[in-house]
Amino acid sequence: MVLSALFLQACHNGNGNVHTADPTDPPDSGITAADTGFAAMAVQSAMMEVTLGNIAQQRAGDARVKAFGAMMVKDHSQANDMLKGIADRKDIVLADSLDQDHHSDMDSLSGRSNADFDDAYINRMVQAHEADIRAFEKGAEQITDPDIKGFIQTQLPVLKMHLDSARAIQRDLEQQHDASLRSRREPFASH
């Protein structure tokens, strides 16, 4: 999947050469393909959540969805800054723009507004955070670099809180839709 492809993300080795992570690299680099790939995946995910969070603040119809978008911008910007600082110290080259897969998410949501946007955005945030949590939990087992491992340990509780918030909003939106459908049908049911 995308995570495996990102494990091959380019890594800077400190002497001016950029190369892909290779298991035959000298062990003194300390950075593995798993470390580099995880960092690449995490930065893409966070950039997507910041971008979509900005769109949510503009297009959402529900105040909770707008607030959730603002939280995504704040929390994932901080996470990205933290991860980019680690990457700079470790000479890991990370992308500074979204890849094509993440652009597709942005494109599919950017044309929507109000309730249509709210549903699509929150559903995407639930899916994204479930995937992020799985990747971070897997990373916690596989990552060898102590700084990246520390990043995972600080971010996992934040991701879980985001998922809980997104699920709560998702449930509320579904209940609102159900109540709206019932209210539209009830006048016809009494005749």
pLDDT band per the 50, 70, 90 thresholds, residue 110: confident
Pair 53, 76: CB distance under 8 Å:
yes
CA-CA-CA-CA torsion sign (75, 77, 78, 82) = positive
Residue in this structure with the two tokens 């997104």, named with its chain if needed:
166
Residue 189, pLDDT above cutoff 80: no
From the list 12, 1, 49, the residue with the least C-alpha distance to 163 is: 49
Task: Give the domain CATH number at 98.
Answer: 1.20.1260.10
Residue 160 lies in a domain: yes
Percent of the chain with pLDDT over 90: 66
Domain interval for residue 43: 2-22+34-178
Residue 29 lies in a domain: no
Residue 67 lies in a domain: yes
Give the pLDDT of residue 7: 36
Which two three-digit tokens encode residue 16?
Answer: 């001016």
Residue 61 lies in a domain: yes
Residue 110 lies in a domain: yes
pLDDT band per the 50, 70, 90 thresholds, residue 108: confident
Pair 40, 21: CB distance under 8 Å:
no
Residue 189 lies in a domain: no
Please tell me the total count of domains within the chain.
Answer: 1
Please give the mean pLDDT across all residues of the chain: 84
- Residue of higher predicted confidence among 179 and 89: 89
pLDDT digits (tens, 9 = 90+) for 35-86: 999 999 999 999 999 999 999 999 999 999 999 999 999 999 999 999 999 9
Report pTM: 0.79
DSSP-based three-state secondary structure for 99 = coil
Between CA 13 and CA 31 the distance in angstroms is 10
Give the pLDDT of residue 184: 67
If you count them, how many residues does the chain have? Answer: 191
